[in-house]
Structure 1
Amino acid sequence: MSASRFRHAVLTGAPGAGKTTLLNAAEATGLITSPEVARVLLRSPGGMALRRADPLAFAEAMIEAHAREYERHANAPGPVVFDRGFPDVVGFLDVSGLPVPKAVERACRTLRYSGPILRAPAWAEIYVQDAERIQDWDQAVASDEAVTAAWLRYGYDVIDLPLVPVAKRLEFVARLIQSPAA
């Protein structure tokens, strides 16, 4: 892929809407990617228990993990595609009815992404629950609404991904990342 003016692209949106599948396809083409930190945390010892018992502490762990990923890719030679970002944590807190801690607010305001924010809308045809994706369909839709509102709250423009097969989604993302007008 050619050089780009963007340092970041972020995949956000509904749980189970194809973000990780798209991220894996992007990585397979040679794009630099960053995994969904919530999944990494949930798969670590005690992660799911922490999410259930203390969602605020889980959110703080997510923001710290996002900060590590952001820093890890600070000098990347090309754009990095992130699976979720700082405002997604605010969406998680909002949908959970929890306050946004000052550290989370500060991260959202100071650690800024410089590229397209790509929303994977809720997509019933591909949605499935799994060991970490514990939301039912209605909760997944509510999560999508909350994270999208959080991105907008922090001044980002959000672009909807088309509801098309992953190869077509990847073409859409590649065009946006390479486009000087995006």
Structure 2
Amino acid sequence: MKIERPNFFVITGGPGSGKTTLIDVLAARGFPHVEEAGRRIIREQLRTGGNATHEGDRLAFRDLMFTDAVQTFEARTGLHTPVFFDRGLPDLIGYSRLIGEEVPPPLKEAVTRYRYNNTVFVAPPWEAIYGNDAERKQDFAEAVATHDAIRTAYRDAGYALVELPRAGVEARVDFVLMRAGVQAERRAR
């Protein structure tokens, strides 16, 4: 049975493209949001000495992100206001392809079953703002490859992709809210 949530908006793209900064501003304005699972999992793995990371056991990392993505989707199905997700389930199809692995059938089924708003916002690779940190260790070339794999996965899953402008975070927030049909002034704090 499909679970379609037109109030669930995905913001995706390669690492270092400004997704998380955008989500943080939306959260500060009071919008429900979902943090990127990969960053949360990497922090936990580093804290506990685990190896389920992009640099370690990539399949275990993908599987943890998959479990998290389903759980966070299901946990928010009772919300009727806009919810902004820092990545969605189709990202994991892109990730599987990026690391040269088959897409497991349960992931394919979940992408078909759990449906976000048809409009997916894609942050393009933007070298001027790209940077590494404790959780993001990919170089810019890998960020571009990730972006490309993710775009293909969302397109294949039937989503309409809308590229975010290469602009400051406030302009991006306004763009997302306008395209999502959300009254910005109603939520501004």
Aligned amino acid, residue 165 of structure 2: P
Aligned amino acid, residue 39 of structure 2: R
Is the contact made by 1:121 and 1:161 (CA closer than 8 Å) also made in structure 2? Answer: yes
Task: Find the counterpart in structure 1 of residue 86 from structure 2.
Answer: 83
Residue 131 (structure 2) pairs with residue 118 (structure 1): no
CA shift, 1:31, in A, is: 1.1
Partners of 1:47 and 1:108 in 2: CA distance: 31
3-state DSSP of counterpart to 2:122:
strand
Partners of 1:26 and 1:47 in 2: CA distance: 32
Residue 141 (structure 2) pairs with residue 138 (structure 1): yes
- Structure 1 residues 53-94: Cα deviation after superposition (integer angstroms, max 9, x where no partner): 321121111111001110111011301000000010111111
TM-score (norm 1): 0.91
Partners of 1:111 and 1:14 in 2: CA distance: 22
Aligned amino acid, residue 26 of structure 1: L
Within 5 A, what are the aligned runs for 1:158-173? 158-173=161-176
Aligned amino acid, residue 33 of structure 1: H
Is the contact made by 1:41 and 1:47 (CA closer than 8 Å) also made in structure 2? Answer: no
In structure 2, runs of 5+ residues without a counterpart are 183-189
TM-score (norm 2): 0.88
Question: Taking structure 1 as reference, are residues 123 and 47 closer, same or farther at Cα in structure 2, changes over 3 Å only?
Answer: farther
Q: Percent identity?
A: 35
CA shift, 1:114, in A, is: 2.1
RMSD of Structure 2 on Structure 1 (CA): 1.5
Partners of 1:22 and 1:48 in 2: CA distance: 29
- The 10-residue stretch of structure 1 (132-141 or 5-14) with the greater mean CA deviation from structure 2: 5-14
CA shift, 1:116, in A, is: 2.1
